[in-house]
């Protein structure tokens, strides 16, 4: 992505929209790593009263363009941005990350139709295919088993990868742009990387001090 941490609003930047805004902590950590703000500020202020580092993505955070968390809006925002840049003859790219449970929202499929019809090759959709959502397994609530096939039928250049394989993700992201929008279905597992939560990680939880200690120990870290 083309970014400029010293000038977050730089007009030549690419955009990342984290539609599944409850994953804000991951986005904030990445932004601090790239130098948009000091990591210690995030550590001290995450989810604190009055802090800009709220539990859902907050547009007041440097490097964030849209507040998100009300699912089903990010892809529409990204489609509008991508179309706007295309109409202006600009090369800015737009990346949108959605959850698989979120793909039950009808607004996403309207956005997919528009993006395909307009041949928005500057738009990339990444879907976190972890099989779970707030109320339980996606397959028990609204099956997404045919997700890849649906995206292909909607006219997206679509690939499916192991979402924990960074090399595979990078390869999928760096395929030269074609003439259609791109979709990457990233298969993931809740709790991956933390043995005590693998495959059974909660949708959203605040760990107690003891749970945090056990989680660190299970990862081979010193509490």
Band (pLDDT 50/70/90 cuts) for residue 201 is: low
Report the alpha-carbon distance of residue 222 to residue 95 in Å, rounded: 36
pTM here?
A: 0.93
How is domain 15-187 classified at the CATH fold level?
Answer: Rossmann fold (3.40.50)
| Residue of 112, 121, 106, 118 whose CA lies nearest to 153 | 112
Helix-, strand-, coil-residue percentages of the chain, each rounded to 5: 35, 15, 50
Across the range 84-98, mean pLDDT stands at: 97
Q: What is the pLDDT of residues 58-88, one digit of tens each?
A: 999 999 999 998 999 999 999 999 999 999 9
Residue 129 forms beta bridges with which residues? Answer: 187
Are the CB atoms for 87 and 80 separated by under 8 Å? no
Q: Is 95 exposed, middle or buried (0-12, 13-18, 19+ CB in 10 A)?
A: buried
Closest among 17, 4, 20 to 123, alpha carbons compared? 17
Number of Cβ within a 10 Å radius of residue 175: 12
Angle ∠(216,219,221) on CA atoms, nearest 5: 55
Angle in degrees, CA 71, 77, 80, rounded to 5: 150
Q: How far apart are CA 64 and CA 56, in angstroms?
A: 12
Length of the chain: 223
pLDDT band at 202 (very low <50, low <70, confident <90, very high): low
């Amino acid at each position: 992505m083309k970014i400029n941490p010293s000038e977050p609003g730089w007009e030549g930047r690419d955009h990342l929209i984290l539609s599944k805004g409850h994953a804000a902590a991951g986005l904030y950590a990445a932004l601090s790593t790239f130098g948009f703000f000091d990591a210690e500020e995030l550590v001290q202020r995450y989810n604190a009263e009055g802090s800009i580092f709220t539990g859902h993505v907050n547009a007041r955070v440097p490097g964030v363009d849209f507040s998100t968390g009300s699912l089903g809006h990010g892809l529409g925002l990204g489609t509008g941005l991508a179309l706007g840049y295309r109409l202006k003859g600009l090369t800015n790219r737009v990346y949108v990350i959605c959850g698989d449970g979120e793909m039950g929202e009808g607004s996403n499929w309207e956005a997919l139709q528009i993006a395909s019809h307009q041949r928005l090759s500057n738009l990339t959709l990444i879907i976190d295919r972890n099989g779970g959502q707030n109320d339980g397994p996606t397959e028990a609530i609204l099956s997404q088993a045919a997700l890849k096939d649906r995206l292909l039928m909607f006219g997206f250049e679509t690939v499916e990868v192991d979402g924990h394989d960074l090399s595979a993700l990078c390869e999928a992201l760096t395929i030269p742009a074609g003439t259609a929008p791109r979709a990457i279905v990233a298969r993931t597992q809740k709790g991956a990387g933390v043995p005590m939560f693998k495959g059974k990680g909660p949708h959203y939880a605040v760990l107690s001090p003891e749970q945090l200690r056990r989680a660190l120990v299970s990862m081979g870290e010193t509490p």
